[in-house]
Amino acid sequence: MRRFVYCKVVLTTSLVWVLVDVFLLLYFSECNKCDDRKDHSLLPALRAVMSRAHEGPGEMGKAVVIAKDEQEKMKELFKINQFNLMASDMIALNRSLPDVRLDGCKTKVYADDLPDTSIVIVFHNEAWSTLLRTVHSVINRSPRHLLQEILLVDDASERDFLGKKLENYARTLEVPVRVLRMEQRTGLIRARLRGAAATRGQVITFLDAHCECTVGWLEPLLARIKEDRRSVVCPIIDVISDETFEYMAGSDMTYGGFNWKLNFRWYPVPQREMDRRKGDRTLPLRYTQDTYYICLYLLPEPPHTASLGALAKSSTRTTGDWPRCGWTASKTSSTSYHQIRNVETNQCVDNMGRKENEKVGFFNCHGMGGNQVFSYTADKEIRTDDLCLDVSRPHGPVVMLKCHQMKGNQMFAYDAERLTLLHVNSNQCLDMPTEEDKMVPTLRDCTGSRSQQWFLRNMTLTL
């Protein structure tokens, strides 16, 4: 009998130690060098264990698929916030996301004495699930000693659940979360200023109300500010699909900016900047404004803060809601489209940041505008900035040339019923890419096939 009891004690003790070992392994693999930091809380470990048990919708950034019998309801809910609310509500508030950082970024170690930060998030009638997923991603993936507080600034929302219910929920979180209320609708900038004035942290970080931070997002930003407090830093921003909530990694080889028409665009990193970095892609992109002694950094070090594509980029990149303020400008009457989406492939026409005389591109639709914004003019041109799609011979290629407003090779007739874009000169239709060049749309004889059908999503006003 004693032997039996002894065996039970040994087995039980062994099992306990095995569980402890597994727990510690999960803790340190998730915490990413927690032994070098001040945050030795077991909360990250607990979240790591819990997240690994999640096999639900959207985990690891995977797309959410809505059942066919729910499609009509999904479309109705889509109208509320202009994204797939049904998919968002199916996803856990603390869903897991992949770590897409460069290997060199994952092994970087940062100082213990980084400044702490206050996170300011402005919202107006935001969906509950996207707003709280933003908050939870900040809490779950920020070292606790660097996170002073989160301020939620309500710009006169009208939805009941964003009132007392939100305040009560905020009190249950392990990080101080305050809700500030604007007395009347003031707009994004004034609401951010109100939030900034109420912060207590050493650094102010602005985020949109519909983004998700991934592991390691905060430390590189604060490290650059510690080096020079005049620095303005921003992470690379990835995309969350507005239709499926799929997480799609962006590129560290592009940077955002405005052209002279104040259109927001993505541009390839110039060679001079690549030379300065000496091939080390973990170093930040740097742009210095000598007049104001400000150094603007685009940091590839953090895994990109992901933002919901249908709305706007994360404010950490200082773009905020700027892309909403006029996607295009043209001397002629034109309508700007957020996407020119192919029905067959579900991919979009994309200028890829290319220059005049280069082929137009074809890429996964990201819903963020930028290089996928085109305007269709009264002259039946398809414009991107001051360049127009141009085809000089049958079957292409489709290139981008200076708009000449003389129609000819730049004239495309869009049939809103058939969803076709007819190149008038060649009498051929814009079609999906060929097998030989999968990144460039082409022209083929019109057949009415799905590959020749295009959805044009209208985003802005007629000029």
Token output for 223: 């490290």
Calpha distance 386→398 (Å, rounded) = 16
Confidence check: pLDDT of 396 > 50? yes
Q: Is residue 74, in this structure, part of any structural domain at all?
A: no
Mark whether 163 and 218 lie in a shared domain. Answer: yes
Backbone phi, psi, residue 89, to 5°: -70, -20
Token output for 13: 């003790």
Contacts of residue 88, Cβ cutoff 8 Å, sequence gap at least 6: 127, 129, 130, 133, 245
Mark whether 414 and 310 lie in a shared domain. Answer: no
Domain final residue, candidates 296, 324, 352: 324
Confidence check: pLDDT of 307 > 50? yes
Token output for 394: 């049958």
Mark whether 351 and 420 lie in a shared domain. Answer: yes
Mark whether 258 and 289 lie in a shared domain. Answer: yes
Q: Is residue 67, in this structure, part of any structural domain at all?
A: no
Least confident of 319-328, 402-411, 454-463: 319-328
The per-residue pLDDT for range 268-301, each reduced to its tens digit, is 777 888 888 887 877 777 654 433 334 455 555 4
pTM of the predicted model over 0.75: no
Calpha distance 333→358 (Å, rounded) = 26
Domain final residue, candidates 278, 295, 324: 324
pLDDT of residue 272: 80
Dmax (CA) for the chain in angstroms is 100
Confidence check: pLDDT of 350 > 50? yes
* 353 backbone φψ class: left, alpha, beta (φ>0; ψ -120 to 50): left
Q: What is the three-class DSSP state of 312?
A: coil
In this prediction, residue 263 has a pLDDT band, given cuts at 50, 70 and 90, of low
Least confident of 71-85, 158-172, 358-372: 358-372
Give me the mean pLDDT over the 140-145 stretch: 96
State the sign of the Cα–Cα–Cα–Cα dihedral 312, 315, 319, 322. Answer: positive
Mark whether 229 and 339 lie in a shared domain. Answer: no
Give me the mean pLDDT over the 163-185 stretch: 97
Mark whether 301 and 389 lie in a shared domain. Answer: no
Mark whether 110 and 225 lie in a shared domain. Answer: yes
pLDDT of residue 248: 87
Calpha distance 323→460 (Å, rounded) = 11
Q: Is residue 8, in this structure, part of any structural domain at all?
A: no
The per-residue pLDDT for range 213-234, each reduced to its tens digit, is 999 999 999 999 999 888 888 8
CATH code for the domain of 364:
2.80.10.50
> Do 400 and 388 meet the contact criterion of CB atoms below 8 Å apart?
yes
**Quick one: CA torsion of 32, 37, 41, 46, rounded to 10 degrees?**
0
The top-scoring range by mean pLDDT among 1-10, 89-98, 281-290 is 89-98
Confidence check: pLDDT of 313 > 60? no
Give me the mean pLDDT over the 434-455 stretch: 91
Total domain count, the chain: 3
Confidence check: pLDDT of 459 > 70? no
HSE, side-chain direction, 13 A CA sphere, residue 15: 6
pLDDT of residue 28: 46
The residue range of the domain holding 306 is 80-324
Calpha distance 49→45 (Å, rounded) = 6
Mark whether 348 and 416 lie in a shared domain. Answer: yes
Domain final residue, candidates 324, 346, 381: 324
Contacts of residue 223, Cβ cutoff 8 Å, sequence gap at least 6: 110, 111, 114
pLDDT of residue 20: 61
Nearest to 97, CA basis, from 237, 211, 212: 212
In this prediction, residue 337 has a pLDDT band, given cuts at 50, 70 and 90, of low
Mark whether 282 and 154 lie in a shared domain. Answer: yes
Query: Which residue in this structure is represented by tokens 């290139």?
Result: 399
The per-residue pLDDT for range 26-60, each reduced to its tens digit, is 544 444 433 343 444 444 444 444 444 458 999 99
Compute the mean pLDDT over every residue in the chain, rounded to the nearest whole number: 79
